[in-house]
Amino acid sequence: MASTTSALRRPGSGATDRSRRGRPGGRRPALQGHQPSAWYAVPAFGFFAAFALLPMLLVVYLSFTDWGGFGTPAVSGAGNWSRLVEDPEVRASLLRTLALTVLSWAVQTPIALLIGVWAAGPQRNRAVLSSLFFLPLLLSTAAIALLWQALLDPNFGVLRTLPELLGGGLNPLGDASLAIYAVVFVLTWQYVPFHTLLYQSAARGIPASLYEAATIDGAGRVQQFLTITLPQLRYTVITSSILMLVGSLTTFDTVLILTNGGPGTATRIAPLYMYTTGFSGFEFGYASAIAVLLLVLGAILSLVVTRATGFRDMSSQQEGA
Amino acid sequence: MTGGPRKRLLLATGSAALAVALAACGSSGPAGAGGGEGGGDAIQVWALQDTVLNPIEQSSVERFSEGDGGDASLETFGNDPYKQRLRVALGSPNAPDVFFNWGGGNLKEYVDAGQVADLTATVEEEGLDEAFIPSVLEAAQLDGKYYGVPMRGVQPVALYYNKAVFEEAGVQPPETYEELLTLVDTFKAQGITPIALAGSQSWTELMWAEYLLDRIGGPEVFQAIRDGEPGAWEDPAVLEAMTRIRELVDRGAFGSDFASVGYDVGGASTLLAQGRAAMHLMGSWEYVNQLGQSPEFVERGDLGYVAFPAVEGGEGDPANVVGNPTNFYSVAESSDAKETAQQFVATALDDEQYVDDLIAAGDVPAVQGVREKLEQADNADYTTWVYDLVEGAPSFQLSWDQDLPAAQATEMLTELQKLFLGDQTPEGFVQAMSS
């Protein structure tokens, strides 16, 4: 994220950048008089309208209907919405989603950050180990979920072979109070490599001169990490966090295959509840209402994160932007 | 969720969302839109994917096309994508002419929406009501009219047990529920899980609910619930069946790990085959499954099977069975080639070759009088037992999740899984379902 040059600038110098953008004479005189026409955006807007806006509008429309899948949807007014407000399972599934999101973030961020910074180092053995760390990135979600389901199987999985080590009789996927942690664990295994990759590349962009100066000043490794690495990676932390938060909000496939929301409803997160309502119960109208709720929550969440972290100012950190 | 091969179910659900997206784009094959040429119209037949049965169905479709009735073509889909696609396709211009279904409440929703053609005249003219086992044919009968004709084998649920484990313990398979409870204590004392249960998938738990409810309350309770009669869920039989489930769980009948045991990956079946569990309540496909997964276990003659035990004082006939009576072909009301389609469903399973092919594949067709044929085929002991079980059954209750409207079925499966886990009480179950 942060480029080499931006790293040299002190934090909080965004204002200078903005002023530069408006500077008369600009940095790219060659482009003057050749501003791209707004028409260039038509294909992109066309795609966006056809594959994002239109389906969204259809879902909003469906949320005001009763539709079992056949025939014409019958408009039912706000029926689905009042049911949504009263349905205890909606609240419960949102709380599960929230728990999953917070846990995933809290567990994945430190792990990915530490591995990423470590893997950014120059030694050769790190390159080999790093490529091993990134292995889960190559597997499909279905394969990962099926793999862990088999490994965590109480009768034939690894937990059976190490029961003494783990306190004995541990059955994470079959225990309603443990299942969510099992899901977080599998998600962590699956996504940490991706975020590690982000941190690795960002950490490589931090100029060595900063560390050299710090070493001369007598700063230790921990101090260097806290005062140089971490601040330099702040935009990467934000990027990675937004990806995690929004990703967790829509996590679906792993949970579907790993636990299918079970045992009972212990891991029935909101997107899964929407899926079950729509594609098992065939209440497409009500499922659409849940979908709209998720859409709104997702949009709010990413706006809040963006605002709260000043993420939108990031582009101004780039030289020449 | 019930019906068809289980192993593909998992992957099918995984790709369901994608399949729906693709279905919306409409890639209909040679649909029934073609006008009549020569002997009849072109019809499109939709069925569920099955590596063993699809070629048999394909050749039946080809034999039909060779005659002068009309041209038929077969298109197959995975379990969940099929259910989703059929819903949206019926009544649209892309509807199939003939479609596969499970009968019961599953079919009723389509009938109520006016999407299914009445086949009563065809069934009676062709004498199909005599040709099929009555309790099976009944699953596609609504308000005295026939809406479907059987097209695959019967799949009753039975109690499988490990004969070696039973012999070692010196006990006999249960004939009554009391005996079952005693067996639970016996095996538990020996450190063997009394009953294997793939509880991570709620349809396996449903089999217990269905049989207990049938034995206690009889088929009328199911009927009342399916018909949506007010207070049907509050029938004392429902509460008693659910109470007995809790009793079984609390007694340790299913061990302590059942909530994460799966069927698709072979969990429960392997426990039975390895003798780590003594009994397993499962659909008739369990035999073929065991034959594939643990052939030595079956070939040693250790796989035993009995009907579900009787419950003392219950109103249901102990000869009743639950499961999938069979699968049906139905004709879409909107079909342009309804006559050809009716012609096709009337001749499909009535065809000698088709029945022979099904038997050779290890299926037990719902046709009357095929017992001799079964006796001459492989695994005759088992297939004739299944045949007799079904033929002698006064009632064949379709899997409850298929028999109920989809929304209710989904809720019921959730509540049931909570009941098994102890997160829901029998009273709470009744209350949740009747509200």
The tens digit of pLDDT for each residue in B156-207 reads 999 999 999 999 999 999 999 999 999 999 999 999 999 999 998 889 999 9
Chain A partners within 8 Å of B258 (Cβ): 174
Q: For B29-62, how does the pLDDT look when each residue is reduced to its tens digit (9 = 90+)?
A: 343 333 334 445 789 999 999 888 999 999 999 9
The whole-number pLDDT of residue B38 equals 41
B382, B166 in Cβ contact below 8 A?
Answer: no
* Subunit contact A257:B202, Cβ cutoff 8 A: no
| Angle (nearest 5°) at CA A189 between A185 and A193 | 145
Lowest-confidence range among A156-160, A241-245, B28-32, B355-359? B28-32
B416, B259 in Cβ contact below 8 A?
Answer: no
Residues of chain A with CATH 1.10.3720.10: 99-275
Mean predicted confidence (pLDDT) in B362-373: 90
How far apart are alpha carbons A101 and A277 in whole angstroms? 22
Q: Give the closest-approach CA distance of B256 to chain A in angstroms.
A: 9
Residue B234 maps to a domain? yes
- CA dihedral (B119, B121, B126, B132) positive or negative: positive
Residue B184 maps to a domain? yes
pLDDT beyond 90 at A80: yes
- Which of A24 and B309 is assigned the larger pLDDT? B309
Residue B184 lies in domain: 155-322+405-434
Chain A partners within 8 Å of B332 (Cβ): none
Phi, psi of B74 (to 5 degrees): -110, 135
The whole-number pLDDT of residue B362 equals 84
The β-bridge partners of B396 are B321
Q: For A230-279, how does the pLDDT look when each residue is reduced to its tens digit (9 = 90+)?
A: 999 988 998 898 889 888 888 899 999 999 888 889 999 999 999 999 98
The whole-number pLDDT of residue B35 equals 39
Residue B7 maps to a domain? no
The whole-number pLDDT of residue A163 equals 58
* Subunit contact B257:A155, Cβ cutoff 8 A: yes
Q: For B75-123, how does the pLDDT look when each residue is reduced to its tens digit (9 = 90+)?
A: 999 888 898 889 888 878 889 999 999 998 889 889 988 999 999 999 9
Interface test with A, best of B9, B260, B270, B401 (most A CBs within 10 A): B260
A283, A63 in Cβ contact below 8 A?
Answer: no
Q: Give the closest-approach CA distance of B88 to chain A in angstroms.
A: 5
Distance set, CA A139 to CA A147, A191, B7 (Å): 10, 11, 21
Q: What is the mean pLDDT of chain B?
A: 87
Nearest to B357 by CA among B93, B150, B52: B52
Count of residues in chain B: 435
SS3 sequence of B238-249: HHHHHHHHHHHH
Decide if the complex's ipTM is over 0.85.
Answer: no
Same domain, B318 and B331: no
Same domain, B226 and B104: no
Residue B334 maps to a domain? yes
B118, B43 in Cβ contact below 8 A?
Answer: no
Instruction: State the residue for tokens 């784009």.
Output: B25
Same domain, B147 and B163: no
Same domain, B185 and B312: yes
The whole-number pLDDT of residue B176 equals 96
Burial (CB < 10 A; 0-12, 13-18, 19+), residue B337, is buried
Same domain, B172 and B258: yes
Mean predicted confidence (pLDDT) in A277-299: 91
Domain count, chain B: 2
The whole-number pLDDT of residue A312 equals 58
The whole-number pLDDT of residue A33 equals 61
Distance set, CA B55 to CA A154, B31, B52, B72 (Å): 38, 20, 7, 14
- Which of B427 and A157 is assigned the larger pLDDT? B427
Structure tokens at A102: 């917070």
Same domain, B79 and B60: yes
The β-bridge partners of B153 are B365
* Subunit contact B407:A175, Cβ cutoff 8 A: no
At B422, which CATH number?
A: 3.40.190.10
Q: What is the DSSP string of A233-265?
A: THHHHHHHHHHHHHHHHT--HHHHHHTTT-STT
How far apart are alpha carbons A239 and A302 in whole angstroms? 11
3-class DSSP assignment, residue A36:
coil
Same domain, B386 and B411: no
- Which of A68 and A286 is assigned the larger pLDDT? A286
**B410: nearest CB among A71, A173, A281:** A281
Same domain, B388 and B423: no
Residue B304 maps to a domain? yes
Chain A partners within 8 Å of B87 (Cβ): 68-70, 282
Same domain, B275 and B170: yes
* Subunit contact B10:A264, Cβ cutoff 8 A: no
Distance set, CA B30 to CA B42, B78, B81, B94, B345 (Å): 8, 19, 19, 10, 19
**B260: nearest CB among A169, A263, A279:** A263
Structure tokens at B98: 């003939």
Q: What is the dihedral of CA B137, B142, B147, B152, to 10 degrees?
A: -30
B111-133 exposure pattern, b = at least 16 Cβ within 10 A, e = fewer: bebebbbbbeebbeebebeebbb
Residue B5 maps to a domain? no
Same domain, B187 and B227: yes
**A155: nearest CB among B115, B271, B406:** B271
Same domain, B166 and B210: yes
| Angle (nearest 5°) at CA A98 between A94 and A103 | 150
B278, B187 in Cβ contact below 8 A?
Answer: yes
Phi-psi region of B90 (alpha: psi -120 to 50; beta: other; left: phi over 0): beta
Same domain, B417 and B272: yes
How far apart are alpha carbons A22 and B261 in whole angstroms? 64
Amino acid at B316: G
B300, B275 in Cβ contact below 8 A?
Answer: no
Q: For A99-135, how does the pLDDT look when each residue is reduced to its tens digit (9 = 90+)?
A: 999 999 999 999 999 999 988 887 777 878 888 888 8
Q: Which residues of chain B are at the A interface, by a Cβ-Cβ cutoff of 8 Å? A: 1, 10-11, 13-14, 16-17, 20, 80, 84, 87-88, 90-91, 109-110, 113, 115, 199-202, 256-262, 265, 267, 270-271, 276, 406-407, 409-411, 414, 417-418, 421, 423-424
User: Between residues 184 and 243 of chain A, which touch chain B (CB distance below 8 Å)?
Assistant: none
Instruction: Give domain A99-275's CATH number out of 1.10.287.130, 1.25.40.10, 1.10.3720.10, 3.40.109.10.
Output: 1.10.3720.10
